[in-house]
Amino acid sequence: MGKIKRAVSRSTRKEARINERIRVPQVRLVDETGQVLGVMSTRDALETARDRGYDLVMVSPNASPPVCRIMDYGKYKYEQSKKARKAKKKQHVVHVKEVKMRPGIEQHDYEFKMNHARRFLEHNDKVKFSLIFRGREVTHLDIGQRVMERVAKDLEEIANVEVRPKREGHALIMIVAPKPGFVKKPGEKAKEAGGEEDAEN
């Protein structure tokens, strides 16, 4: 039974051979309830399926003899398609949101941007912190490192550092990802933290 069910799942990833498209002389037949009826000629198997008002579907072509199952193939395909659409809706595409900062960021700006970061993390998105240096500021990477360390510490209960702080041109970047269990459940209202996807100066 279990092997036959898995065979059905594998075979429906591509168009299965059904009814008259089944060209082999003999098949092992499984009925619509999952009961194995045994080995018989393909003609007899097809007649059995038609007598019951169903299709004959080859679910395991590589078996010896191939396994065929009696089913309503149109209904089965529709149900599988519906399940696939439902599963796709539940999937969350992970985005990387960017929060931009400056080395000398003031406290109220820092808190505002951290609120943005927490909102992104709540919705299962990663956050890329970009600390932008201007002119000769880039020679003081230690200041930027301290800001990044502060960010990581403030978020340590809800996020893991995925990419440690590193220099990219005139910026120091760090990427954090939400910890399991922190993500909001579907349908929960987001916290008010501003309306933009990127938090910039």
pLDDT per position as a tens digit, 144-178:
999 999 999 999 999 999 999 999 988 999 999 99
Calpha distance 34→136 (Å, rounded) = 74
Residue 191 · residue 182 · CB < 8 Å: no
SS3 31: coil
| pTM for this entry | 0.49
CA R_g for the chain: 29
Mean pLDDT of the chain: 83
Q: Which CATH class is domain 2-83?
A: alpha beta
Whether the CA torsion 114, 119, 124, 125 is positive or negative: it is negative
Residue extent(s) of CATH 3.10.20.80 domains in the chain: 2-83
Q: Tokens 């702080």, residue?
A: 165
- Per-residue pLDDT reduced to its tens digit, 69-81: 999 999 888 888 8
Residue extent(s) of CATH 3.30.110.10 domains in the chain: 96-178
Architecture per CATH, 96-178: 2-Layer Sandwich (3.30)
The pair of structure tokens assigned to 47 is 């007649």
Model pLDDT, residue 7: 45
Calpha distance 82→193 (Å, rounded) = 36
